[in-house]
Structure 1
Amino acid sequence: MAVCPLRSLAKTVVGSSLLWAWGFLCYLSPVLFPSGGAVSASTGLEYGFFASQAAVVVFAVAVIAVSRRRALVLGRWAFFGAAALIALTTVALVAALRIGALGVVVCCGIVDGICVSLMGVAWGARYSLGSHTIRPLVVVSFLLAYLVYLVVAHMPQPWSAFIVLMLPIGSWALWANDAAARHELSSEVFPAGDDGASSMPGELTAGSWEAKVLPWRPIGVLVAAAFIGNLMASVIMGWAYDAVDSLFYGGVVVCACIATMSLVPLATDRNVLSVGSVYRITLTFTAVGLVAIMVFDGAGVPVGGALVQGSAFFLQVLVFLIITQSTQEQGLSPLLAFSVGQALISAVVVLGNVLGKQVYALFGSGGFVLDVVCGCGLLALFFMLVARASSTEGRPVGHDAAGRAFSVVAQGAKEQGAGSGDDAARAVGSVADASEALMQQRLDRFVETYGLTKREVEVLRYLVRGRSLPYIADVLFVTTGTVKTHTVHIYRKLEVNARQELLDLFEGKQ
């Protein structure tokens, strides 16, 4: 089945942007607020928002816990069910806000948190397929989501509410259509049928489940900065709660500006998207906002608050981008990687907002308190920018144990033959030949012992050398989903659950 790359990429950008836009419009805008009760509705919706973020964290913990016991399987209809539930809870949320049913709002938030996490993983898996050139499209999708927000937020009722209702359904439809077209066999995307393939995980669950290989250091920098941003934004909103809607709207405008600035270098000289550069731009916007509040007091809150709020939003985009990069390069399971990434984002959002409200409750809303908080936040961001900004670039793909051993042996041969260039070259060549011969012997024994197919052996050859799944797909001229399928079959036959276990088994097979 021929697939048009441009059409597939367009579906990816538009479909994922619809999901992001739904989150902004449903929980971070007045679109669903009943007329005449903006403040009370905002307060009720805030509880639902916090419940949804807590549900995201619980979902990630459940995924990790269940995956340790058995292989996870996500069926064809799981994602349609998630989209349908999001649409239904949107209707329930509107009704609950109108009658002031806080319990219903909280329940809707819990359901939304789980379902949006699942759909976020689905789109994350799509972005992790293919080469690194797809990564800038993550920013493009959020930019499009901001534009959708800005348009729909100013539409009259009931049209705006109807569009919000349809966004998750549209997102699912585009994902399902694109997923079916990406692979020649639908079983590589969806578990289907009554045979053994029905228990085969698709592209969301296949891959390595080693959470330790996630780039925790750069993620930690972004998470810490996002926490500070959300803390500052919460304090500012507590100081001017009657302007909360305008702060959210202004924050989305700021996000759109940052996204546009980050994409300008790509449009001019086709540079690779630099997470570190975007991180510095984002912190600069935050710093300008804090300074504006400190200098102009109350008059600076609308603009300064929007800058801080928007920067906090966009730091979450960068976390998603880092997770995408890591999933591509390390061949991680998208269900694991993106569940953890979304959980980290949600945790800092809840923690930052809750602590910000405590600061407001304990010390009051005086201008001096606001200046002190902004000053402390500015100082913290300054030290983070100076000391850790370079960490956001992400870690390069590390070498596997066999590769490191070969490097050490080759270096030793080079040193021993330093007096003769020809001798050194021959020594390195002989080491390479011996290493390849040993590799082939072990592969032959694995074929005999575990009954691996020819294609599985080809994939295994690259897996034990530390190659990522996208790299293997490029070499073998297949899709990343196909490589993930072979990887799952290899893990199952060898009875291992992670790449490190695979390496240990392979190196111990004498």
Structure 2
Amino acid sequence: MPEEKGRKAEARPGIVRELVSLWPSLPYLGYGVWLAWACLAYSGTLWLSDVETNGENLSQLYMVSTAAFGIVCLVVPFAVRRFTQMLERRSVVVGAGVCAALGCVLVVAVGPYYLGQFVEMRPLFWLGAALSGIGTGIVGLKCGVMYGALAPRRVLLYAATSQIVVAFIYFAVIGSPPWALAPGGPSVVGILSFTLLPVAAALLTVLPTSSFASSEAGMRPLTFGESKRALPGAFWRLVALSFLLPAVASMMRGVVVDAHALAVTLEGNNILMLLRVLMAAVFVVVAVRVDASHMNFGKLYSLIAICMVVTIACVPVFGAHSNEWSLLIYCASSVFEFVMWCLLAFVVFQKRISPVIVFGIGRGAFMLGSALGWSFGVYALPSISGGGGSSEFAFYMICAGVVLVLSFVLFSERDFERMFSPIGENELSFESLMDVDLRERTQREGGRGKFSRALEGIAEGHGLSAREAEVFRYLAMGRGSDYIADKLQVSWNTARTHTHNVYVKLGVHSRQELIDLVDEAVRK
């Protein structure tokens, strides 16, 4: 009997490893399961009862949970090494999922059809909300650590796929039978989803990836720095923006949710989820099909900012309590959240700075801004803009002006380029980052795949540095020094120096000899 149990114990890890080797993106879908929990929890679908007349309890759960999430993330960078070691332990991550689940149990238990019918238990509700935020905060950081080790195209693909997982889980749960333990209370499926989704997300993130799935998942061994000083100045401006933009969007959404019936909130969330699927489909196509030279996240960011400015400026026309108009603002914020997650992973991959620092600061600022903005929208905004007329118009014009200034002065499209400008010799430009790994696999044996493999083989065989390999690629594509200098964000003389070094290492004396060398490698 003991030997049989031992054999079964050995078989289980083998099955898990085989599953992940066949489905290498599976651990990264933990990000989608975590987001699905957040969407369902903050919609109230899973845990609210039929006696809820407005979004007061929903707002309180959102504010406390997201604030706890943000605080956890912002504390972690002050003890990088310790928290990095903790996140490597499966027991810690799964324990965080269980912590969030216990918090969800408390939230349900103090409902009006359970313990809440006997005594007011508001402090227990707040405790449960805080535990859910603390637990999912740790799970979210674990997701950040995993995504930070992925090649950028993989980040785009897996993050977009996770958005589709979010929509699938969301609609599956809200469309489930409304069986309830108590008539009028939350459904059994809702309670189980509310409590178990954080655990499921944690279990997915601790699946093995590094030893056998790294080559398929697009990972590469990285040595991460632990100094916050290594972060570029543009990153800190992006963090400030990631605090302020969600704060404005949550402020607008919070005042609507708190004032409307839950049925109105649910209808709005359903629309947001359909838009999330559309966004995910677009980014899947971008990840798989769009050439790196045509990807411009800076322009996408500018477009998001412009949409937010226009919608905020039009709030007085449609009304501060317009559910449809607030959805437009929150939709733009959701796209910004997706882009922000990807950008944080890109920073980790390029700069080789600890994901605990990058995601802790970046995601923490986003969540804390969301919590404070929602709080302002619920408790302060009605008294500020409640008078209507010129005062309301002036307030929203000021908000639109602030967003405009922040978006194009605090962090502009040019700052985006500066943030990803290569600094060290081993850093790649943004365009080269997007060419890592995925492009060749999707094109199988296509011409571009052979060309890229030929370039990599030559670069490795002649000992080119990462920067020289970039220059070599541009030279092989027929680009000149002006183009190379612009793409690498270096001076013309530096580009010429790199070109000279490439020629020396390859043993060629002209552009034609270099192209002949590449053509021969492609034919082989």
Coarse TM-score class (shorter-chain normalised) = 0.5 to 0.7
CA distance in 2, matches of 1:34, 1:87: 19
- Contact kept, 8 Å, 1:248 with 1:309, in 2: the verdict is no
Change in CA separation of 1:3 and 1:381 when aligned onto 2, cut-off 3 Å: farther
**What pairs with 1:81-480 in structure 2 (closer than 5 Å)?**
81-98=95-112, 99=116, 101-136=121-156, 137-155=158-176, 156=178, 157-179=187-209, 182=212, 207-214=224-231, 215-237=235-257, 240=260, 243-266=264-287, 268-271=289-292, 274-287=296-309, 289-290=311-312, 293-297=315-319, 301-356=322-377, 357-364=379-386, 366=388, 369-387=391-409, 388-390=411-413, 391-392=415-416, 395-396=419-420, 398-400=422-424
- The Cα shift of 1:21 comes to 0.5
- Contact kept, 8 Å, 2:240 with 2:365, in 1: the verdict is no
- Contact kept, 8 Å, 2:27 with 2:207, in 1: the verdict is no
CA distance in 2, matches of 1:353, 1:70: 29
CA distance in 1, matches of 2:426, 2:363: 33
Change in CA separation of 1:69 and 1:115 when aligned onto 2, cut-off 3 Å: closer
Change in CA separation of 1:309 and 1:5 when aligned onto 2, cut-off 3 Å: same
CA distance in 2, matches of 1:125, 1:66: 15
Counterpart AA for 1:88 = L
CA distance in 1, matches of 2:146, 2:339: 17
Counterpart AA for 2:108 = V
Change in CA separation of 1:160 and 1:362 when aligned onto 2, cut-off 3 Å: same
- Contact kept, 8 Å, 1:282 with 1:311, in 2: the verdict is yes
Give the SS at the match of 1:32.
coil
CA distance in 2, matches of 1:249, 1:70: 36
Listed as ranges, the gaps of 5+ residues in structure 1 are: 185-202, 408-423, 434-510
Give the SS at the match of 1:332.
coil
The corresponding residue for 2:26 is 11
Give the SS at the match of 1:46.
helix
CA distance in 2, matches of 1:33, 1:249: 17
The corresponding residue for 1:454 is none
CA distance in 1, matches of 2:295, 2:23: 21
CA distance in 1, matches of 2:27, 2:82: 32
Counterpart AA for 1:20 = L
Deviations along 1:296-351, whole A, 9 cap, x unmatched? 447x8121111112222332332222211111112222222222222111221122
User: More displaced, 289-298 or 14-23?
Assistant: 289-298
CA distance in 1, matches of 2:257, 2:335: 18
| Pairing partner for 1:22 from 33, 37, 42 | 37
- The Cα shift of 1:208 comes to 1.5
- Contact kept, 8 Å, 1:83 with 1:169, in 2: the verdict is yes
Give the % identical residues.
15
User: More displaced, 265-274 or 144-153?
Assistant: 265-274
Counterpart AA for 2:135 = C
Give the SS at the match of 1:135.
helix
Q: Which of structure 1's runs of 4+ aligned residues deviate more than 6 A?
A: 1-6, 68-71
Listed as ranges, the gaps of 5+ residues in structure 2 are: 1-13, 179-186, 215-220, 428-466, 468-495, 506-524
- Contact kept, 8 Å, 1:230 with 1:353, in 2: the verdict is yes
Counterpart AA for 1:76 = R
Change in CA separation of 1:115 and 1:182 when aligned onto 2, cut-off 3 Å: farther
- The Cα shift of 1:51 comes to 2.1
CA distance in 1, matches of 2:159, 2:124: 33
2:65 aligned with 1:44: no
- Contact kept, 8 Å, 1:323 with 1:337, in 2: the verdict is yes
| Pairing partner for 1:76 from 56, 80, 90 | 90
Give the total of aligned pairs.
391
CA distance in 2, matches of 1:31, 1:77: 27
Counterpart AA for 1:104 = L
Change in CA separation of 1:339 and 1:134 when aligned onto 2, cut-off 3 Å: same
Deviations along 1:6-36, whole A, 9 cap, x unmatched? 8444303432211111111113333210122
Change in CA separation of 1:68 and 1:79 when aligned onto 2, cut-off 3 Å: closer
Give the SS at the match of 1:34.
coil
- Contact kept, 8 Å, 2:107 with 2:124, in 1: the verdict is yes
Deviations along 1:32-80, whole A, 9 cap, x unmatched? 10122242xx323422322222323432344234448998544331111
2:76 aligned with 1:63: yes
Deviations along 1:390-427, whole A, 9 cap, x unmatched? 13457225434999xxx9xxxxxxxxxxxxxxxx99xx
- Contact kept, 8 Å, 1:22 with 1:167, in 2: the verdict is yes
Counterpart AA for 1:23 = A
Change in CA separation of 1:213 and 1:346 when aligned onto 2, cut-off 3 Å: same
Counterpart AA for 1:219 = V
CA distance in 1, matches of 2:34, 2:139: 8
The two structures have a TM-score, normalised by structure 2, of 0.64
Counterpart AA for 1:172 = A
Counterpart AA for 2:170 = Y
Change in CA separation of 1:61 and 1:165 when aligned onto 2, cut-off 3 Å: closer
Counterpart AA for 1:132 = P
Change in CA separation of 1:97 and 1:45 when aligned onto 2, cut-off 3 Å: farther
- Contact kept, 8 Å, 1:227 with 1:348, in 2: the verdict is yes
- The Cα shift of 1:116 comes to 1.0
